[in-house]
Structure 1
Amino acid sequence: MTNQSNSTKNSILTFGYGNRKDYDAFLSYIEEFNIAYVIDVRLSPRAWTRRWYGCAIEELCASKNIRYISKASLGNISGSHYWIPPKKDEVEESLLEVAEVLETGNVLLLCAEMDSSRCHRTEVANKLQKITSAPIKHLK
């Protein structure tokens, strides 16, 4: 991994779509924070509405020149905000892959739970920060 200068440190942002019926907030954050990558940390990139399915988000991201990456290995099988990854032996490798991506642009960790304090993505972001020392911002 290449070292970044502190003046160009990229950020880890997190976003939960919750029960949003449209992409307005999501797209606003993508633009405001110059998001280069959307990292989907859901175990299964599906939702109660097809709008938030991984394939739909990937298509939306592509239309905005943003890379969508599904990282089910960073998903959660606990059913709560306590993070229990599906395959613990894949977590470190996945975090390192996201850390490499973070070197080239801001990343947004995407999950379903709107409240970051009730979502495992906060723990994923914290572990990623330990690897990269990148700042974290939880979006609402």
Structure 2
Amino acid sequence: MELYTTGYEGELIDQWVEKLRDAGVTVLVDIRERAISRKKGFSKTALRNQLEANDISYLHYRDLGSPSEIRKKLMRDKDYISFFEQYNQHLNDQEEKLRELATILEHEKACLMCFEKNHRQCHRSAVVERLEKIYPGEVRVEHL
């Protein structure tokens, strides 16, 4: 299974979509709890339209998003260790969604998407780690 991840922090929608196309991404999996953005082009409907115009499918997996109470706590205390501990607890209840995602990876060139540019400071890295635990040796990841 081949998987990409990306954040749109600091990106412009046209160049960002071009990067996805250049990588051969066929489906973008938005793992924000709420698919809204103050950044033009990155809210759900506009993003879906832009992607579909470029032959990339869009899926919103809100259950894999970071719950708002966990995000708010991170904004207050900047404690990434606590954030990832809490988010990993959240992922314990998302195995069905993770297996559904893995099924997509078997047939599509998928990319997980969230806001943060640095994947190490984003919950998408925890999703990747969980997939690697469920499917050891089967997941190849590249961070765009």
TM range (shorter): 0.7 to 0.9
Partner of 1:108: 111
RMSD, matched Cα: 2.1
* Change in 2 beyond 3 A, CA 1:43/1:106: same
Contact preservation (8 Å) 1:74, 1:85 = no
Contact preservation (8 Å) 2:13, 2:42 = no
Greater helix fraction, Structure 1 or Structure 2:
2
Q: Secondary structure at the match of 1:20?
A: coil
* Change in 2 beyond 3 A, CA 1:86/1:65: farther
Partner of 1:131: 134
Contact preservation (8 Å) 2:17, 2:51 = no
Task: Indicate yes or no: 2:7 matched with 1:16.
Answer: yes
Task: Indicate yes or no: 2:47 matched with 1:57.
Answer: yes
Superposition deviation, residue 130 in structure 1: 3.0
Counterpart selection for 2:99 from 96, 100, 107: 96
* Change in 2 beyond 3 A, CA 1:28/1:130: farther
Superposition deviation, residue 105 in structure 1: 1.5
Return 5+ residue gaps in structure 2 as ranges: 75-79
TM-score with structure 1 setting the length: 0.81
Q: Secondary structure at the match of 2:95?
A: helix
Q: Secondary structure at the match of 1:51?
A: coil
* Change in 2 beyond 3 A, CA 1:116/1:88: closer
- Partner amino acid for 1:30? L
Question: Runs (4+) of structure 1 moved beyond 6 Å?
Answer: none
Task: Name the % identity.
Answer: 22
Task: Indicate yes or no: 2:63 matched with 1:73.
Answer: yes
